[in-house]
Amino acid sequence: MTRVSMKVDGVTYEDDVEARRLLVHHLRDTLGRVGTPIGCDTSNCGACTVLLDGESVKSCSVLAVQADQAQITTIQGLAEDKTWHPVQKAFQEHHGLQCGYCTPGMVLAAVDLLNNNPDPTEDEVRHGLEGNLCRCTGYVNIVRAVLAAAAEMRGAGAGQAKSTVGVGA
């Protein structure tokens, strides 16, 4: 067992963990942060994506001990004072989710993408999210949502997006 300390969605937790324990299991089973789901066992699907010190990681591919001293944001901690993040708002507005299982990972991957590239093209969004699989939406509305969120986060109206899917370029 190793003692680890991490700040998850603003709360600091200290626990003894087995060296083999995956971060996602630590979040879900030990800390009860079950907003982060598990979709695969090969790090392909991205459903378990969280922000670790601001960068998106697949929490099934990180050991809990590797997250010692880290600051983690899950989907449950993304909204501030119950105000949804622009990406969350855009996912609802543009129907970027159906069953919602991929949504926590997809939203956090999109947040990271927009942090790195505030004004992406459609193609950059598609490639930027290729580590996150969705089986319901065919991605069209996810891409729309991310482009719309990008525009809002830049302070531009949706009409000023560099490229929006389906609404013209």
Partner 1 sequence: MTETDAGQMVDTGQIAEKIADSDLQSGPDGTKEMGRSRRRKEDAKLITGQTTWTDNITLPGLLHFALLRSPMAHAKITRIDVAAARELPGVIAAFTGAELAGELGSLPNAWTVTPDMVSPAHPPLAVDEVRYVGDAVAVVVTRDRYSAADALEAIEVEYEPLPPVTDLEAALADGSPLVHSEKGTNRCYDWPFAAGDYEAVKAKADVVLKRRFIQQRLIPTAMEPRAVVVAPIAAADEYTIYSATQIPHILRVMLALTTGIPEHKLRVIAPDVGGGFGSKLNVYAEEVIALILARKLGRPVKWTESRSEGFQTTTHGRDQIQDIEIAATSAGQILGLKVDLLADMGAYLQLLTAGVPILGAFMFPAIYKMEAYSFHCTGVFTTKTPTDAYRGAGRPEATYAIERIIDELAHELGREPMELRKQNWIKHEEFPYDTICGLTYDSGNYEAATEKAMGLFDYDGLRREQAERRERKDPIQLGLGISTFTEMCGIAPSRVLGSLSYGAGGWEAASIRMLPTGKVEVVTGTSPHGQGHVTSWSQIAADALGVPFEDVEVIHGDTDSSPKGMDTYGSRSLVVGGVAVHHAAGKVIEKARRVAAHLLEAAESDVEFKAGTFSVKGSPEAKTTIQDVALATFAAHNLPDGMEPTLDSDYVFDPENFSFPHGTHLCAMEVDTETGQSKIRKYVCVDDVGAVVNPLIVEGQIHGGLAQGIAQALYEDCVYDAEGNLLTGTMVDYLIPSAADLPTFITDRTETRATSNPLGVKGVGEAGCIASTPAVINAIVDALRPSGINDIRMPATPERIWRALQESATAGSATGGAQ
Q: Is 156 in the site for partner 1 (CB under 8 A)?
A: no
Considering the complex, state which of residue 52 and residue 125 has its C-beta at the smaller distance from partner 1. Answer: 125
Q: Least distance to partner 1 from the beta carbon of 118, Å? A: 19
Q: Is 20 in the site for partner 1 (CB under 8 A)?
A: yes
Q: Is 16 in the site for partner 1 (CB under 8 A)?
A: no
Write 53-56 long-range contacts (CB < 8 A, 24+): 54/112, 54/115, 55/112, 56/108, 56/109, 56/111, 56/112, 56/113
Q: Is 102 in the site for partner 1 (CB under 8 A)?
A: yes
Q: Least distance to partner 1 from the beta carbon of 151, Å? A: 14
Q: Is 47 in the site for partner 1 (CB under 8 A)?
A: yes
Restricting to residues 49-68, which ones interact with partner 1 according to CB under 8 A?
A: none
Q: For residues 23 and 39, is the Cβ–Cβ distance under 8 A? A: no
Q: Is 79 in the site for partner 1 (CB under 8 A)?
A: yes
Considering the complex, state which of residue 48 and residue 67 has its C-beta at the smaller distance from partner 1. Answer: 48
Q: Which of 93, 119, 152, 153 binds partner 1 (CB under 8 A)?
A: 93
As given in the structure block, the two tokens for residue 117 are: 């590239």
∠40-106-132 over CA atoms, to 5°? 45
Amino acid in the structure at residue 169: A
Q: How many residues bind partner 1 (CB under 8 A)?
A: 64
Q: Least distance to partner 1 from the beta carbon of 101, Å? A: 3
Amino acid in the structure at residue 143: V
Whole-angstrom distance between the N-terminal and C-terminal Cα of the chain?
55
Q: For residues 38 and 45, is the Cβ–Cβ distance under 8 A? A: no
